[in-house]
Amino acid sequence: MPEGPEIRRAADKLQEAIVGQPLRAVEFAFARLKHFEDELCASTITEVETRGKAMLTHFANGLSVYSHNQLYGRWYVIKAGRTANTRRSLRFAVRGESREVLLYSASDIEVLDDIGIATHPFLQKLGPDVLSTTLSEARTQQQLRDRRFQRRRLADVLLDQAFFAGIGNYLRSEILFQARLLPTRKLGELRNDEQNDLARAILLICRRAYQHGGVTNDLQRAAELKAAGLSFGQRRHAVFQRGAQACYLCQSIIEHAELNRRVFWCPSCQR
């Protein structure tokens, strides 16, 4: 399942293709949304925003299309008039003069105004977005001290979108390795310095993954592994999906277990 950085990169692509373009057609597959088609088509797209794993396509007329891809949804950007090479079913299409953006397979699509966004049950529950450019280290630390989450294991709480929006399974393992914390530790047990390490790791790893195509490994190390001929999958992460291989820092064997989903850690570097 794509995580925050993958959704944000998809949004960047859509934004580049369609923002400000005159529109030829807006289409929904669902009958309940069809009455919005003409009004949206007469408008233009101003921004493609992400909140965690949800996307908001904002139109100049004040309406926004909310979409959540869940496991199956997929966006395509194609030249106008071409067809996407897929057998999936088309759910939402914005056809511009030169390019078209098409959402396939997703079922979670709604049209919302500002009040609808402010009161949306999923959006309302989201914690701070790890890819928001305005998320500060201080705000991140504040969230780590929020009482609601103190009794939870790090492995569990990091996947909770109400804690931080946009963290998924690979980011969880990589953040905990960067912070040198074991996945079984409880949030409320962390010392102040450990809390600060975790706050910094959340921001560093999520932003690195966004800026470097999903790479969470140390960038210098990833470059050396690339030069040594390792594939993208082999050099991408420090611990995630590296079970039974040696830790890059201490040579201990990376362990893994099912904690909610599969989590990976170094038994020596992480405490």
Q: Is 266 an interacting residue with respect to Zn ion (CB under 5 A)?
A: yes
**Helical packing angle, 4-18 and 192-211, nearest 10°:** 40
53 labelled catalytic: yes
Concerning whether 267 is annotated as a catalytic residue, the answer is no
- Residue 129 — φ and ψ, nearest 5°? -80, 120
Query: Considering only 68-76, 122-130, 170-178, 244-252, which stretch makes contact with Zn ion by CB under 5 A?
Result: 244-252
CB closer to Zn ion, 31 vs 244? 244
* Piece of the chain touching Zn ion by CB under 5 A; list 25-33, 106-114, 179-187, 259-267: 259-267
| Residue 179 touches Zn ion, criterion: CB under 5 A | no
Going from the C-alpha of 152 to that of each of 148, 155, 161, 178, the distances in angstroms are 9, 8, 14, 20
Q: At closest approach, how far in Å is the CB of 218 from Zn ion?
A: 13
Q: Determine the Cα–Cα distance for residues 157 and 260; give it in Å rounded to an integer.
A: 10
Residue 14 sits at φ, ψ, to 5 deg, of -60, -45
Q: Which stretch binds Zn ion (CB under 5 A): 95-103, 114-122, 236-244, 249-257?
A: 249-257
Residue reference for tokens 């309406």: 63
The CA-CA-CA angle for residues 89, 84, 99, to 5°, reads: 115
- What phi, psi does 203 have (nearest 5°)? -70, -45
Nearer of residues 124 and 268 to Zn ion, judged by Cβ: 268
Catalytic residue flag (residue 2):
yes
Verify binding: residue 131, Zn ion, rule CB under 5 A: no
Q: 53, 99, 172, 235: which is the annotated catalytic residue? A: 53
Judged by CB under 5 A, the residue of 195, 249, 255, 256 near Zn ion is: 249
Q: Which has the closest alpha carbon to 112: 55, 173, 177? A: 55
Find where tokens 């199956």 sit.
Answer: 72
Is 262 annotated in the active site?
yes
By the rule CB under 5 A, 268 interacts with Zn ion: yes
* E strand residue ranges, 29-84: 45-51, 54-59, 64-68, 74-79
**How many chain residues are in contact with Zn ion, going by CB under 5 A?**
7
247 binds Zn ion, rule: CB under 5 A: yes
Q: Is 250 in the site for Zn ion (CB under 5 A)?
A: yes
Q: Which residues pair with 221 in a beta bridge?
A: none
Nearer Cβ to Zn ion (36/248)? 248
Least distance (Å) from Zn ion to the CB of residue 173? 13
- Catalytic residue IDs: 2-3, 53, 262
Give the residues lining the site for Zn ion (CB under 5 A).
Answer: 247, 249-250, 252, 266, 268-269
